[in-house]
Every structure is written in C-alpha cells, then in structure tokens.
Amino acid sequence: MSGDPGSGIVLVSLNRERLPSPVIPVGLACLATALLRAGHRVDVVDLAMEENHLAAAQKVAGLSPAAVGLSLRNLDNVSWPDSHGYLPAAKEFIGALKGLIDTRLFIGGPGFTVCPGPALEYLSLGLGLAGEGEISALRLVDEVLLGTGSPAAIPGAVYRDGGDIVCVPPEITAPAGWPDDDWPGLVSPEARNLLDIEAYLEAGASFNIQTKRGCPLHCTYCVYPLLEGRRFRLRSPVSVVDELELARDRWGAGRFTFVDNIFNLPLEHAKAVCREMVKRKLDVQWETYLHPIAVDEELLGLMLESGALGLEFTPDSGSSAMLASYGKDIEVEHLEQAAKLCRRMGLPFAFNFIFGGPGETWETVDETFALADRLDPTAVLAALAMRVLPGTDLQQRAVTEGVIGPDDDLLEPVHYISPAVREGFEEGILERVRTRPHWIVPGLGVNYSPELFELARRFNRDGAHWRHVKRLRSSHRRPMGGD
C-alpha cells in the first residue's frame, strides 16, 4: 500500500463505452459540483481518457485521496442479441485500485442504482449510494468516510452489515443552501473543468445538460422514474441556458443534448427553455427525446428557431395493442399528428421501437412496420427484446411467465422476448428491414457500427447519425449487419 490519506476526494468515471457516442460523465460532474460547493478538494480520473486500468488505478493512487467515489453509468448495453456487460472491466479496475491503496471506496451512478445490492456484491465493495448523488454523497463523505457516523442514517446508502447487504431507501430532496434555480441538475463550470471536455467534443460527444428530473408515467419496462422519481422537478430555463451559453463560450461547444427523460413534458417548461435560447440568439445546435403526446406547432417552431437538429420519439411500437401493453399512454393518432407536424415544419424525426415485448405477435410487428412506412420518419431505431430491469412491471411479468425466478437479481442481462415471435425473431426482423434503408437496428448491427459512426462524424459533424443514415448507407460498403 502507498500514499498518505490526503484530504481530497477522487471521483472515477468507470465508463469507457464510445458507442453510440462518448458521453461526458455529467452525473459525476453533478456530484463534483456538490462536493466542491461544500469545500472539498475534488479530482477526477476518467477511464474513458485512460490507456488502461492499471495506469488509471496508479493515477488515482498517486492523488492520495481521502476517499474514492466510483461512478457506474452502464451495467450493460441493453442490446440483444449482441449483449455485452461493463461490470467485469469495472471489477478489474477496482481490483487493481485495491492493490494500490487502502482508502475507502464508494460507488454510485445510474448503473449502480438499477441493481445496487448485487452490484456491490459482484464488485466486492463495501459502500455505495443509490439514487441522486448531490445530497446523500456529501453526507456519506462528511459523516461516514471522513467522520465516524453510520451509513444507516443516509438515504440511498448501500452497505454491508455482517453478512447482509442493507439498502436504505433513497430520498429526493434539494441540497440545502443552493439557489432554487440551480436545482436539480446544475453542473458548475469548476466541476466541468475537472473533465477533459475538449477531448470529448473532439471525439464527437455532445454537451449534455439536464433541464429537469423525473417522469410520472408508467411504461412497463422503464427504470427512469425509479432513477429520477415520479414527480417532475424543473430547473429554471435561465439556469439551463446559462450553462449552455457558458459551455459554448468556454469550450466552444456547438452541439448539445438535453438529457431529460422526456424534454417536452411539461410542455410549457420545454417551450420556456427554447424561448430563453431564442431570446439570447445562441448559435447552437441541439437534440433531445420527445413524447408524442405533447407536440404542437409552437413547440416545434421554437425548437427550430433555437437550433434543434431533429428529434427522437420513443413510442416503442406502432401497434395500438402494443402501445397499451407497454403502458405508453399514447394512441397511434398521436404519432400520426406528431409526424405530420414535423414534416410540415421541416424537422427531421426518428421513431424508436422495441420489438418483442409482452404481447408482441408477428401481426403487431407488421402493424408497426406499416405505420412507420405510412408516417415515413427520417429514420427508425429498432431494438429487439426488452432488457428486464429490477423494480419494473416487466420484471413481475417475467417472473409470472417463468422467464426469471423471483430471486433473480438481474445483474446479468436477461431479455424478454414474447413467445409468439421468439422463433425466427432475428431473421423475421432482418427480412423486414432489408428493404427499408432508413432502419437502424443496433442489436443486429444494421446501419450501426463504429465505422459508420466515424463516417457520420467525418462528413456531418452535426449530431446523431440517424439523420444521415440514408445517405451514409449508400456510401458505405457494408451497411447491413447480421448477414
């Protein structure tokens, strides 16, 4: 073991994934904001920027931290059939780090929050924090890691008690002493400065900003409301656009993603953010996800005026029966209206579909294809099978149908595929997309590969490759995967 216990906290971003694009570790930066505001010294080691695990572990050890916070964004790529997990690499890094320092480690982040107990166990760690980091992590650092308190009093704490792992339920509260405008989601410039933003932008990342947290809807497979709560908590449009303007001025960021669960709910808040951007005449481009239920001409007009490049809808299906089965609160008519409006206003748009969830049959698959043909989006992004995640209705359904046992911890990816389409599933979808050049199927490698992303970056430095897929496909030798 080496190194004096210093007074600083080192935050480590474990994420090395570069597809569909590298992602600036904004969650870690939120945490850094809170720690810096409370007077802690904070350093960041970002594994996406490091050659290998050992070099990164040595870098952390060299900083002699008082405590090390690990940010686990992704468990796996939620993709089928080409599923791959990120936990083995994280475990390897943690093993290397433990060999170099005896400082206490704690872990958090969305990947951890989805499966806290099993992840703690698998990674052989003793302390974690599920849920939002700003408040609880600060308490964990001050009271437990640098003090003598017990994690039992800290919302979201996950710790070992004898042979058991205890999970204290997370709580959602605003940090004391923060201006209302900054909560939730603010990342201070000092915190972003700890990251190599230039390198991310150079590698094709978009600058990520949150305008709110929460989602009150109940889609059957989705963990977002479990991660962010079911109540919308809105950040002031002025604060959002201040962060955006600063990013443009300080780092030359020109392309942004609003990383809300859904940008346009509540509709008036989305419009207010756009209006603030228009008012400041920011020459920026941006992208986001929209719910088809809350799209009107005024919103699309403001989006265009403020620099939106295009928008993605996530209806998950184009079949009425499947929309109901997925708990989507959407009718086919909402998709029709949204598509019509986008086309009239000249905004590129994509639909995201998930095939194979509960109730899917080849008939409902064909209804979705027929609707997409009729509405003719710029692109379609299709996933096959649904990753079963803890705490969702889908988990219950999978237990009832015997796909998983009631005690399956779901750390290893399990994907639900409706029995009616299971046989010949990949072939059936491949056959249907073969004649549709604007369909992207990541799990089957259709119009989705590092080479294609590289091409998109080289020729169109303005964002998501789906907007260019038709053109890229025709200029690329092997556009269709899975063959």
Q: Pick from ligand SF4, ligand B12, none: which does 262 bind, CB < 5 to 8 A by kind?
A: ligand SF4
Instruction: Give yes or no for residue 261 binding ligand B12 (CB under 6 A).
Output: yes
Q: Say if residues 289 and 311 touch (Cβ distance below 8 Å).
A: yes
Comparison of 139 and 213: residue with beta carbon closer to ligand SF4: 213
Which residue from 186, 183, 154 is spatially nearest to 168, judged by alpha carbons? 154
| Structure token digits, residue 26 | 């904004």
Instruction: Give yes or no for residue 26 binding ligand B12 (CB under 6 A).
Output: yes
Q: Pick from ligand SF4, ligand B12, none: which does 284 bind, CB < 5 to 8 A by kind?
A: none
Sites for ligand B12 among residues 178-217 (CB under 6 A)? 206, 208, 210
Binding-site string for ligand SF4 from residue 312 to residue 351, where x marks contact by CB under 6 A and - marks none? --x-------------------------------------
Which residue from 213, 219, 210, 214 is spatially nearest to 230, judged by alpha carbons? 214
Using DSSP's 3-state secondary structure scheme, residue 164 falls into strand
Question: With CB under 6 A, what is the number of residues at the site for ligand SF4?
Answer: 10
Any bridge partners for residue 67, and if so which?
9, 104
* One-letter amino acid for residue 433 of the chain: V
Sites for ligand B12 among residues 113-152 (CB under 6 A)? 113-114, 129, 132-134, 137
Binding-site string for ligand B12 from residue 227 to residue 256, where x marks contact by CB under 6 A and - marks none? xx----------------------------
Distance CA 442, CA 456 (A): 15
Sites for ligand B12 among residues 210-229 (CB under 6 A)? 210, 223-224, 227-228
Give the phi and the psi of residue 386 in degrees, each rounded to 5.
-115, 125
Question: With CB under 6 A, what is the number of residues at the site for ligand B12?
Answer: 45
Q: What angle do CA 376, 442, 403 make, to 5 degrees?
A: 110
Burial 316-343 (b: 16+ CB within 10 A, else e): bbbbeebbebbbbebebebbeebbebbe
Binding-site string for ligand SF4 from residue 187 to residue 226, where x marks contact by CB under 6 A and - marks none? ----------------------------x-x-x--x-xx-
Where residue 317 falls (left for φ over 0; alpha for ψ -120 to 50; beta otherwise) is: beta
Sites for ligand B12 among residues 40-69 (CB under 6 A)? 69
Instruction: Give yes or no for residue 307 binding ligand SF4 (CB under 6 A).
Output: no
Instruction: Give yes or no for residue 316 binding ligand B12 (CB under 6 A).
Output: no
Contacting residues toward ligand SF4, per CB under 6 A: 215, 217, 219, 222, 224-225, 261-262, 291, 314
